[in-house]
């Protein structure tokens, strides 16, 4: 194996811990244990803190909500067996299944468990919005006026205003159900003592080392043939922080899949055209598909730098580099060039306006700026280390059209805070859909969402855009609302508040024996249907 794939010496202790931990599952058939690594670590198993993929993935195995998304992002029943929406689209009434049980716990008394009822959802929603809990998902309930348990199996939710994406919001893992008895007992420690209703239950968590989940034998969902889910006996999650060590373990067959395309090994696994390298086709599979994730460069429009205030420079930034070449060179053709605005490929409402690669016009725009201001446009682009190669590519391309672009690297957490507080001129960012409605993307340009109190990090403002946004929220007919979304996306992009880079793809490398691993455009890890040969 090429030396660049060998684990650093400092990782040997972590690898020994991994190998030692693997022996603990020897009482199970290894073909019924699913193993993966989470290099970013898990911080909480409490669904109130399901704010990022590393937390959401295990939480999705442990908890259920009213509704869920299928692989095509269509909303399907989960704990709710059915629902109705009032004519004014303000009242949602859910009928709950009567066969959903919480995972066993002595806190339920002699029976060790009980069925979920509507009052459990009332409790869970109250907790989500409780300032003492301080859930980052409290915003999910901003559109909700009230909710109540009509009876044990009927939950009713009243909105403040019609909101087309509301059912989609409820599919988020923030909105899953938790039991009052257990949460009240553990308080903040519920993060490491989770009791849910999902296909797997919590067994053990050695923080920074390993998390183990076990099969829930009373799980309520079945497959198309009527067989009980899940098929797996156990899930074992490691926390090895080094990506190259993760990759080495995967090649050794000690992990069942990896969900990343790191620059350190992308050429080892992928051909330049994005296919799996022939030497691995006998034992690995490449799964890839659309991902509702737009990678972009944000431009803070309230910055005093005159180059940022210039529409000419912002346009030049958008048309002065070849997105297709960037994808081929840096990502082995994984992803789609972002030529049509902010709403990503695969989501209804994307704009028809295109950013065409036009370096001659870009240079002309920069020359016009030079004549008007007598100064060379100078900008600073801030990124984290994971995207340094991409930003350096942009730096070289901007130099060709006459823009001096400095690249500054920050830790991810520092970058996130600086972006939110308006301290950066240009910043590398991504927006992954929280729910399957284009409003989720367009909210980044709504003036009432200015950061730090909302996701409008660029401080874009336009009265026409705001009016269209408000109109879309009360439009019941999907086709009309989607056309409005498209108009909004095109309008915002005409002012160049961002530089769309590419629409991402879900990329998973899976061992040949893994069956039933589904892809979905929000990259949610669903293991209830997975089996191993």
Q: Domains of the chain: which residue ranges?
A: 3-253+512-532, 291-506
Relative orientation angle of helices 323-331 and 388-401, to the nearest 10 degrees:
150
| Tokens standing for residue 278 | 């022939």
| Tokens standing for residue 197 | 């209703």
The region of weakest confidence among 118-122, 168-172, 433-437 is 433-437
Is the pLDDT score of 235 beyond 70?
Answer: yes
Residue percentage of the chain with pLDDT more than 90 = 81
pTM: 0.85
| Tokens standing for residue 258 | 């990896």
Q: Is 170 exposed, middle or buried (0-12, 13-18, 19+ CB in 10 A)?
A: buried
| Tokens standing for residue 396 | 């070289």
Return d(Cα 324, Cα 174) in angstroms, integer: 36
Is the pLDDT score of 441 beyond 60?
Answer: yes
| Tokens standing for residue 93 | 């009434």
Phi, psi of 61 (to 5 degrees): -80, -25
Interior CA angle at 491 toward 441 and 488, to 5°?
45
Phi, psi of 451 (to 5 degrees): -70, 155
Return d(Cα 283, Cα 512) in angstroms, integer: 5
pLDDT at 10: 43
Is the pLDDT score of 224 beyond 50?
Answer: yes
| Tokens standing for residue 420 | 């939110």
pLDDT at 28: 59
For residue range 488-500, what is the model confidence (pLDDT) as tens digits? Answer: 999 999 999 999 9
3-class DSSP assignment, residue 160: coil
Return d(Cα 216, Cα 64) in angstroms, integer: 13
pLDDT band at 24 (very low <50, low <70, confident <90, very high): very low
Place of tokens 């095509």: 72
- Residue 384, number of CB atoms within 10 A of its CB: 17
Is the fold of 3-253+512-532 the same as that of 291-506?
A: no
Instruction: Give the largest Cα separation in the chain, rounded.
Output: 82
3-class DSSP assignment, residue 166: helix
3-class DSSP assignment, residue 94: strand
| DSSP summary character for residue 524 | -
Asked whether 509 and 258 are in contact (CB, 8 A), the reply is: yes
Report strand pairing: 336-337 vs 234-238: unpaired
Report the pLDDT averaged over residues 73-102. 96
Return d(Cα 219, Cα 64) in angstroms, integer: 11
Return d(Cα 86, Cα 88) in angstroms, integer: 5
The region of weakest confidence among 1-5, 171-175, 347-351, 504-508 is 1-5
pLDDT at 351: 76
Return d(Cα 62, Cα 45) in angstroms, integer: 8
Is the pLDDT score of 21 beyond 80?
Answer: no
Interior CA angle at 516 toward 514 and 520, to 5°?
115
Average pLDDT, the chain: 92
Report the pLDDT averaged over residues 325-348. 90
Check whether domain 291-506 has CATH 3.10.105.10, yes or no: yes
The region of weakest confidence among 128-132, 323-327, 337-341, 461-465 is 337-341
CA-to-CA dists, residue 410 to 52, 143, 152, 387, 397, angstroms: 20, 35, 51, 11, 22
pLDDT band at 404 (very low <50, low <70, confident <90, very high): very high
Compute the residue count for the chain: 533
Q: Write out the CATH class of domain 3-253+512-532.
A: alpha beta
For the four alpha carbons of 257, 261, 263 and 268, in that order, the dihedral sign comes to: positive
Return d(Cα 96, Cα 156) in angstroms, integer: 11
């Amino acid at each position: 194996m090429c030396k660049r794939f060998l684990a650093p010496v400092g990782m040997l202790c972590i690898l020994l811990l991994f190998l030692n931990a693997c022996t603990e599952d020897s009482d199970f058939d290894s073909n019924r244990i699913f193993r993966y690594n989470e290099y970013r670590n898990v911080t909480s198993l409490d669904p109130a803190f399901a704010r990022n993929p590393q937390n959401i993935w295990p939480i999705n195995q442990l908890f259920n909500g009213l509704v869920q998304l299928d692989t095509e992002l269509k909303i399907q029943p989960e704990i709710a067996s059915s629902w109705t929406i009032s004519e004014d689209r303000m009242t949602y009434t859910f009928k709950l299944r009567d066969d959903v049980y919480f995972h066993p716990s002595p806190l339920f008394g002699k029976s060790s468990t009980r069925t979920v009822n509507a009052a459990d959802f009332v409790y869970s929603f109250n907790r989500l919005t409780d300032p003492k809990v301080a859930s980052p998902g409290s915003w999910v309930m901003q559109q909700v006026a009230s909710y109540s348990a009509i009876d044990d199996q009927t939950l009713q939710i009243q909105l403040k205003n019609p909101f087309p994406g509301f059912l989609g919001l409820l599919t988020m893992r923030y909105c899953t159900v938790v039991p009052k008895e257990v949460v009240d007992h553990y308080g903040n420690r519920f993060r490491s003592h989770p009791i849910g209703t999902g296909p797997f239950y919590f067994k053990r968590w050695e923080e920074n080392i390993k998390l183990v989940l076990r099969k829930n034998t009373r799980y309520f969902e079945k497959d198309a043939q009527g067989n009980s889910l899940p098929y797996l006996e156990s899930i074992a999650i490691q926390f090895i922080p080094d990506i190259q060590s993760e990759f080495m373990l995967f090649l050794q067959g000690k992990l069942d899949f990896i969900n990343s395309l790191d620059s350190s090994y992308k050429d080892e696994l992928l051909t330049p055209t994005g296919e799996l390298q022939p030497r691995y086709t006998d034992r690995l599979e490449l799964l890839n598909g659309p991902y509702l994730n737009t990678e972009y460069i944000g431009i803070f429009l309230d910055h005093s730098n005159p180059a940022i205030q210039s529409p000419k420079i912002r346009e030049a930034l958008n048309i002065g580099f070849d997105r297709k070449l960037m994808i081929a060179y840096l990502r082995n053709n994984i992803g789609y060039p972002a030529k049509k605005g902010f709403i990503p490929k695969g989501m209804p409402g994307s704009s028809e306006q295109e950013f065409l690669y036009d370096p001659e016009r870009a240079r002309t725009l920069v020359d016009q700026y030079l004549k008007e201001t007598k100064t060379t446009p100078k900008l600073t682009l801030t990124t984290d280390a994971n995207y340094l190669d991409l930003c350096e590519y942009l730096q070289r391309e901007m130099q060709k059209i006459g823009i001096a672009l400095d690249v500054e690297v920050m830790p991810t957490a520092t970058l996130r805070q600086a972006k939110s507080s308006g301290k950066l001129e240009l910043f590398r960012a991504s927006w992954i859909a929280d729910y399957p409605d284009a409003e989720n993307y367009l909210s980044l340009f709504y003036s009432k969402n200015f950061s730090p109190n909302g996701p409008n990090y660029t401080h874009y403002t336009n009265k026409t855009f705001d009016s269209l946004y408000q109109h879309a929220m009360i439009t019941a007919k999907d086709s009309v609302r989607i056309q409005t979304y498209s108009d909004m996306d095109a309008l915002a992009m005409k002012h160049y508040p961002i530089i769309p880079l590419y629409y991402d793809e879900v990329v998973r490398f899976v061992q040949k024996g893994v069956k039933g691993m589904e892809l979905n455009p929000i990259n949610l890890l669903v293991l209830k249907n997975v089996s191993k040969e």
